[in-house]
Amino acid sequence: MRGIGGTKIAIVGAGNVGANVAYVMSIRYTCNELVLIDIDHKRAEGEVMDIRHGLPFLHEMDIYAGDYSDIKGCDIIVVTAGAGRKPGETRLDLAEKNCQIAKSMTESIMKYYDGGIILVVSNPVDVLTYHVSKWTGLPRGIVVGSGTVLDGIRLRTLLAEKFNIDMKNMHAYIFGEHGETQFPAWSFSKIAGFSIDDYCIASGIELTEQEKIEMAEKTRRAGAEVIKRKGATYYGIGIATTQLCNSFINDENTIRTVGCVLEGEYGLNDVVVSVPCIVGADGIEKILEVQLPPDEMELLHQSAAAVRSVIDLTKHI
């Protein structure tokens, strides 16, 4: 992270997700300089104007609609451009059209790229993170997929409601694809240091296997349920993306379930799925290999196979 003369972030894509990332960043004062880049320049200008009108109540921030030449000097480039998911459509259904968009966008970014982390948020995020990593040729860990960070928060929310305790006590993680084959790593989940089972004994509150299955399904279906009701999801991912960027900027060395191309970890190669990683100023600082039980390791490999099948189908792009 360079941070010389302040922090600069570019958001590529000024649709619902990109605009909400910009909005949350303006409230959190994530950076000094923020540029929105979109093929629809007037849309980007409108979003910038709308945010600017509220900034006098907050703080000074240099926010503007730009173009790919403004990639120069960025500490973080957030990629949100792409077609949105329609009701009934899975994230992987988006692969073909969004890979085409992402390839053109990556070529434009790399014309002006001179450093910084590339954070991929567009869906299907695992497939796009793989391709962007290959297209850019950057060292592993510089291109980061937002992964299952938001899914993990959704699971923690359900657990906090079940046990009626502060969500800060919850350390529960979603592994695998950001999509249909994701799963909670119950063996890696803790409540204030207790295993889930031990906490149930200590608290006298039972969490049955059926409830675990239902929580996993609610977590997996959460995005689709929002889309069914309001047509798109953008608030949650706007907050989660900003939090990730803060982790990079502040060199937090915090653990997040994000994605990069695996090279033997968990017995997986040349594929992207979300696993716990230490994230800091240089992107993914370290991939943490958790000793998963055989059943969860099998779920991770099944998830990786699902992502790999889509990667293979889109390699011609």
pLDDT digits (tens, 9 = 90+) for 157-167: 999 999 999 99
Task: Name 70's Cβ contacts closer than 8 Å, sequence gap at least 6.
Answer: 10, 35, 37, 112
CB atoms within 10 A of CB 298: 12
Please state the pTM of the whole predicted model.
0.95
- Give the Cα separation of 125 and 117 in Å (integer): 16
Tokens read off for 100 = 């085409």
Residue with the larger pLDDT of the pair 85 and 100? 100
Distance in angstroms (rounded) separating the CA atoms of residues 163 and 191: 10
Q: How many residues does the chain have?
A: 317
* Type of residue at 261: V
The pLDDT tens digits of the residues spanning 175-189 come to: 999 999 999 999 999
What is the CATH code for 8-145? 3.40.50.720
Between the alpha carbon of residue 258 and those of residues 149, 158, 194, the distances in Å are: 7, 21, 24
* Cα of 242 vs its chain's centroid, Å: 10
* Catalytic residue of the set 59, 178, 301, 316: 178
The two three-digit tokens of residue 263, written as one number: 């090279």
Among 146, 101, 94, 139, which Cα is nearest to 119's?
Answer: 146
Question: pLDDT tens across 128-152, in order?
Answer: 999 999 999 999 999 999 999 999 9
Alpha-carbon distances, residue 240 vs 17, 66, 265, 273, 312 (angstroms): 11, 24, 25, 18, 29
Number of H helices and E strands in the chain, helices first, is 9, 14
Q: How confident is the model at residue 4 (pLDDT cuts 50, 70, 90)?
A: very low
> What DSSP line would sit under 247-287, residue for residue?
HHHTT--EEEEEEEEEESGGG-EEEEEEEEEEEETTEEEEE
pLDDT for residue 1: 58
What is the per-residue pLDDT for 176?
98
Tell me the C-alpha distance between 249 and 30, whole Å: 8
Q: If you classify domain 149-314 with CATH, what class do you get?
A: alpha beta
Average pLDDT value over all residues in the chain = 94
For every residue of 198-234, DSSP letters joined together read HHHHHHT----HHHHHHHHHHHHHHHHHHHHHHS---
Best CA proximity match to 276, nearest among 181, 201, 187, 176: 176
Under a CB-based contact definition with an 8 Å cutoff, are residues 299 and 307 in contact? no
Handedness of CA 55, 56, 61, 63 (dihedral sign): positive
Question: What single DSSP character describes residue 118?
Answer: E
- Residue 165 CB: number of other CB atoms within 10 A? 16
φ, ψ (nearest 5 deg) of residue 128 = -65, -40
| pLDDT of 219 over the 80 cut | yes
* Type of residue numbered 62: D
Confidence of residue 5 (pLDDT cuts 50, 70, 90): low
Residue 178 a catalytic site member: yes
Parallel/antiparallel/unpaired status of strands 76-79 and 170-171: unpaired
How far from 143 is each of 49, 89, 228, 284, CA to CA, in Å?
A: 30, 26, 31, 8
Residue spans per domain, the chain: 8-145, 149-314
Flag whether pLDDT at 84 surpasses 80. no
Q: What does the pLDDT look like over 246-288, one tens digit per residue?
A: 999 999 999 999 999 999 999 999 999 999 999 999 999 999 9
Nearest Cα neighbor of 51 from 91, 21, 84 is 21
